[in-house]
Amino acid sequence: MKAAVSESVRSLAVAAKQAAREISAASVAERNQALEAVAQELEREAGAILEAHAEDLREAQAEVTRGELARVLLERLALSPAKLDSMIAGVRAVAKLPDPIGRVLERTTLDTGLELEKVSCPLGLLAVIFEARPEAVTQISSLAVKSANAVILKPGREVARTAGALVAAMRRALRTHTAIPEALVTGIQERAEVDELLGLDDVVDLVIPRGSYALVRHVQAHTRIPLLGHSEGVCHIYVDGAADFAMALEIIDDAKTDYPAACNAVETVLVCRDIAASFLPALAERMRARGVRLRGSREAIGTLPGTSMELVAEEEWHTEYGDLILAVKVVGGLGEAIEHIARYGSAHTDAIVTEDAEAAKIFLAQVDSAGVFHNASTRFSDGYRYGFGAEVGISTSRLHARGPVGLAGLTTYKYVLRGGGQVARDYQGPAAKAFVHRRHD
Amino acid sequence: MKAAVSESVRSLAVAAKQAAREISAASVAERNQALEAVAQELEREAGAILEAHAEDLREAQAEVTRGELARVLLERLALSPAKLDSMIAGVRAVAKLPDPIGRVLERTTLDTGLELEKVSCPLGLLAVIFEARPEAVTQISSLAVKSANAVILKPGREVARTAGALVAAMRRALRTHTAIPEALVTGIQERAEVDELLGLDDVVDLVIPRGSYALVRHVQAHTRIPLLGHSEGVCHIYVDGAADFAMALEIIDDAKTDYPAACNAVETVLVCRDIAASFLPALAERMRARGVRLRGSREAIGTLPGTSMELVAEEEWHTEYGDLILAVKVVGGLGEAIEHIARYGSAHTDAIVTEDAEAAKIFLAQVDSAGVFHNASTRFSDGYRYGFGAEVGISTSRLHARGPVGLAGLTTYKYVLRGGGQVARDYQGPAAKAFVHRRHD
C-alpha cells in the first residue's frame, strides 16, 4: 500500500514537472489569460466551493466541540463569500504584476558577435505544504502560474474539501480554457503523502511550508529539498542613547501591539544604559496602558523600582512570544546591542531608534538580519509593504531569497550565449583573441 | 577523543564566524589592503612555502612509486615558483575587482521619508573542501576576504603541508598588517574533521566542494549546509536541420577536444534526422582525425555503414566521459533534442547549432540549463570567459547561484529601511495612509 501511494505521488510530481516544462514556452499573455480563466472559473464555482467549505466547517466545529481542535483555528479556516471574492481579486491582481520571467538581469558583450545575457527563468516545481488557510491555495497557485512554475499543494486536513474544490476549479479552468496543462496545479490530500513528497528531491525544486513553526521545523527535518520559509521571528528594537523617546515609544507600541502573533512583531527591546533610568519608566507606563506584560533583565528590573516585571531566563531571550509580552534588557550601548542580536536573534528584522546617524550606520551595517531598520517599526517587514504586490512568504535563509519573497523569489536565471560559431580555443594560448567583456547596465 | 576533535572544529568555526562579523565593518579599502598584505607575505614566505611543498611532493612521489597514488595527481598538486607567482598575482587581481558588498540592488520609496534599499552583504562563513590543488587555497581565500566572508579550508592530504604554509602566511599577514582578525582564514587538516565540519549547519553558511565528483557527492550526502557546486557536466550540442555544417564541426571539435576532462566539454551530440545522412560521415571523419572515439544510437550506427561506432546503452546517455569519447544520437528534430536533454542532461551547458532563428529561440527558452548557447562552444561556460574576473566554481543548483559563480555568488542581501518614526498601523484601516512604492532603477 505504501509503495502504491509513493508511486502515485511521484507520478503526480513527474507530471507536474512536465507541465512546468511546457508552460515555460507560454507567453506572459497566455499566463495572464490563464489567471483570468482561473478567476472566472472560481466565480462560476463559488457555490460548489462554499458548499465544500461548509462541510469542512461542520466537521471542524464538531471537533472543537469534542475538544479535538483549537477554537482559534475555526476563524483561520473560515471562508466567507467576501473572502472568496477577495481571493479571486487576488488572482487578478497577480495577473497585473510585471512578468518575472525572461527579464535580462545582466548583459555582457564577450567579443564582437558573442553576446551573453543572464535571463530570469522559472524554478520548476514547487511543493507547498500549508495548514488551515484556504487563501493560500489560490495565492500560491496564481503566483506559480504567473512565474511559469508548477505547484503541488498539500492543504491541512481541516480545509481538505475546500482546497480540493478550489484546486478542481483551477484545473478545470486550465483544461477548458487554456493550452496550459492542468497538471501545473496539483493537489494532494493524504497526510502520508507529505513525507513521500518531501522525499522527491530529484523532482521538486523548492518546498514552501506555510503555517506554524512546528510545521516548518517538521519540513526542515524531513527533506533535502531547498526550503523557503522561516521558523522564527525574534525581532529586536534597540533604543539608543540618542533616541527620540516619543518616537521610540510609538515604534515599540506599533511593533508589539499591532499584531502580536505576526513574525515581524518585536519580542525584545534593548535599552542603552545611558537612558535606561529615564526611558524605562515611560516604556513601562506605555506598555501597561496597552496591556503588554514586561519581562526583564536583572538590570532592567533594578532600574524600575516596584515593578512587577519578572526576570528573563537566559534561554528566554531566544523566545518568540507571539503575544502581548515584551522582554526588556539594559545594554552597555550599541556594540552590546549588536552582540545580543547576533546571539539571540533569528535574523528576521531588527531596528534601531536613534537620532545619531553614525550609530544608525553601524547598526545597519553590522546587524546581519534580512531586515535592518532605522527609526521605523519592524512591522514594515512584509512583501505588500515593501511593494512586491504579492508575497510567497518571508525567508530567513541566507541563500537564494531573503526577507519578504515576491515573484522574483520563485525564479532562477540562466546564461544565454549567442554567437556566430566562436570556439573557446581561439581565446587562449600565445595568439589568443582577447575578450571584450563590455557590461551593458 | 572524538568529542575533543568535534569541540575543536566547532570552536574554530565559531571563531571564524565571529571574524566574519568583524570584517563586515571593514571598508573595501581595508579589505583590499589586507589582500595586498597577504600577497606581500606570500612573496616573503615563498621559500618556506616551496619547502613545505617539496615535502608534500616527496611523499606523493613515494606513494606513486608504491602504487598508492595515481601519477596524474602529481601534476595537479605540483607548485612551481612560477605557479606560486601566478597565485600571488591572482590575489592582487581579486583586490582590483569591484566591491561586491554594499551594492544597492534595488531602491524603493515606500512613502515620503521612508526609504527601502536592498543591499548586498556577505554570506558569513564558507567551508571549502578541496583536493590536491594548492591554488585553490589562495584563490578561495582572496575571494572570501574581498567579499567579507570568513573561510575554513580543508585541503586534500596530498597538499596538507603546502596548504598549511599558505594558510599560515595569510594569517600572519592579517595578524601583523591589518585590523582584520586572522581567524577569517582558517585551515583544518584531519580527514575526520571534515565530517565534523559538515555537521555544523548552525554555523557554516555555505559549503563549496572543489574536486572530483566523488568528493562533491560525498559532501552532498553528508551535510545539511547549502552547497555550491556541481557533480556532473553532461553537456549536449544539438545540430539542427538548418545548421551550418562547417560551424557545427568546429564547435563540436572545440567542445570535445580542447579540454576533454572539463565539466563544460561536450559529451553527446544530437543530430537532426533530416541531415543525419550527410552530417554524420563528416562528423565521423573529423572526430577520427582528432582521435575521438564515437559511440552511437542504433540509428546513428545504421546511418554510418561500416562504422566502428559502438552502441550506447540507455544509462550511458547520462555519462560524463571526461575523455576523448563522444556519444552521437539521431533525433527527430528540435522537440526530441530538448526532450533528450531534459531527461539525460545535468543542466550544466547545452548548445544548438542552427541558422534558423526560430529554432534557436525555442531551444534557448525551453532547455532549462545554467547555460544555453546558440552557435558557440559549450567551453565558454566559465567564469573567466563570462567576464567575472574570478570564479568560485560552477553551480548546477537552481537556487541562489547558477552557472559560473563569481564574487556575487558569495553574497546575499538585506533590506535596509530608513524612516523618521513611521509605524505600520498608520498604513492600514479606513483612514490608512497610502504607500507610494516608487521604484528607483
Express each pLDDT in A253-299 by its tens digit: 999 999 998 999 999 999 999 999 999 999 999 999 999 999 999 99
Is residue A156 within 8 Å of residue A130, measured between CB atoms? yes
| CB-CB under 8 Å, A121 with B421 | no
Task: Determine the Cα–Cα distance for residues A128 and A121; give it in Å rounded to an integer.
Answer: 19
Task: Determine the Cα–Cα distance for residues A15 and A186; give it in Å rounded to an integer.
Answer: 9
| CB-CB under 8 Å, B377 with A398 | no
Give the CATH class of B235-386: alpha beta
pLDDT the model gives residue B141 = 94
- 3-class SS shares of chain A: helix, strand, coil, % to 5: 50, 20, 30
The answer to whether A408 contacts chain B (CB < 8 Å) is no
User: What average pLDDT does the segment B144-163 reach?
Assistant: 94
Which site among B21, B99, B368 would you substitute to test the A interface, given the most A Cβ atoms closer than 10 Å to its Cβ? B368
Name A153's bridge partners.
A128, A187
Judging by DSSP bridges, how do beta strands B114-122 and B411-422 pair with one another? Answer: antiparallel
Q: Which amino acid is at B213?
A: Y
Express each pLDDT in B329-346 by its tens digit: 999 999 999 999 999 999
pLDDT the model gives residue A68 = 87
pLDDT the model gives residue A2 = 40
| From A123, A398, A435, residue closest to B124, measured CB to CB | A398
Express each pLDDT in B176-214 by its tens digit: 988 899 999 999 987 778 889 999 998 999 999 988 778
Task: Determine the Cα–Cα distance for residues A409 and A402; give it in Å rounded to an integer.
Answer: 9
Inform me whether the pLDDT recorded for B378 exceeds 60.
yes
Instruction: Give the other-Cβ count within 10 Å of B322's Cβ.
Output: 16
pLDDT the model gives residue B1 = 35
The fold of A2-100+120-221 is: Aldehyde Dehydrogenase; Chain A, domain 1 (3.40.605)
pLDDT the model gives residue A24 = 84
Is residue B326 within 8 Å of residue B294, measured between CB atoms? yes
| CB-CB under 8 Å, A123 with B366 | no
Is residue A153 within 8 Å of residue A185, measured between CB atoms? yes
Q: Which residues of B touch A255 (CB under 8 A)?
A: 423-424
Q: DSSP string of B216-258?
A: HHHHHHT--S-B---S---EEEEE-TT--HHHHHHHHHHHHHS
Express each pLDDT in B78-104 by its tens digit: 899 999 999 999 999 999 999 999 999
B140: its cell numbers: 578561495
Does A308 or A359 have the greater pLDDT score? A359
| CB-CB under 8 Å, B424 with A258 | yes
Q: Which residues of A touch B253 (CB under 8 A)?
A: 423
User: What average pLDDT does the segment A388-393 reach?
Assistant: 84
Express each pLDDT in A22-51 by its tens digit: 898 889 999 999 999 999 999 999 999 999
Residues 240-279 of chain A whose Cβ lies under 8 A from any Cβ of chain B: 244, 247, 250-251, 253-255, 258
DSSP helix/strand/coil, A318: helix
- Give B48→chain A minimum CA distance, Å: 32
Inform me whether the pLDDT recorded for B420 exceeds 60.
yes
Q: Give the nearest chain A residue to B220 (CA atoms).
A: A224
Sequence spans of domains, chain B:
2-101+122-221, 235-386
> Would you place residue A398 in the very low, low, confident or very high pLDDT band (cuts 50, 70, 90)?
confident
| CB-CB under 8 Å, A368 with B121 | yes
Inform me whether the pLDDT recorded for B31 exceeds 60.
yes
| CB-CB under 8 Å, B439 with A370 | no
The answer to whether A17 contacts chain B (CB < 8 Å) is no
User: What average pLDDT does the segment B11-30 reach?
Assistant: 92
Task: Determine the Cα–Cα distance for residues A408 and A388; give it in Å rounded to an integer.
Answer: 9
Element (H, E) at A341: helix A334-344
The answer to whether B427 contacts chain A (CB < 8 Å) is yes
B379: its cell numbers: 567551453
Q: Which residues of B touch A362 (CB under 8 A)?
A: 25
| CB-CB under 8 Å, B418 with A374 | yes
pLDDT the model gives residue A429 = 87
Name A393's bridge partners.
A405
- Give B425→chain A minimum CA distance, Å: 7
The answer to whether B379 contacts chain A (CB < 8 Å) is yes
- Of chain A, the percentage scoring pLDDT greater than 90 comes to 76
Inform me whether the pLDDT recorded for B6 exceeds 60.
no
Which site among A377, A405, A441 would you substitute to test the B interface, given the most B Cβ atoms closer than 10 Å to its Cβ? A377
- Of chain B, the percentage scoring pLDDT greater than 70 comes to 98
pLDDT the model gives residue B117 = 96
The answer to whether B131 contacts chain A (CB < 8 Å) is no
pLDDT the model gives residue A190 = 78
CATH architecture of B2-101+122-221: 3-Layer(aba) Sandwich (3.40)
User: What average pLDDT does the segment B281-287 reach?
Assistant: 97
Inform me whether the pLDDT recorded for B2 exceeds 70.
no
pLDDT the model gives residue B7 = 54
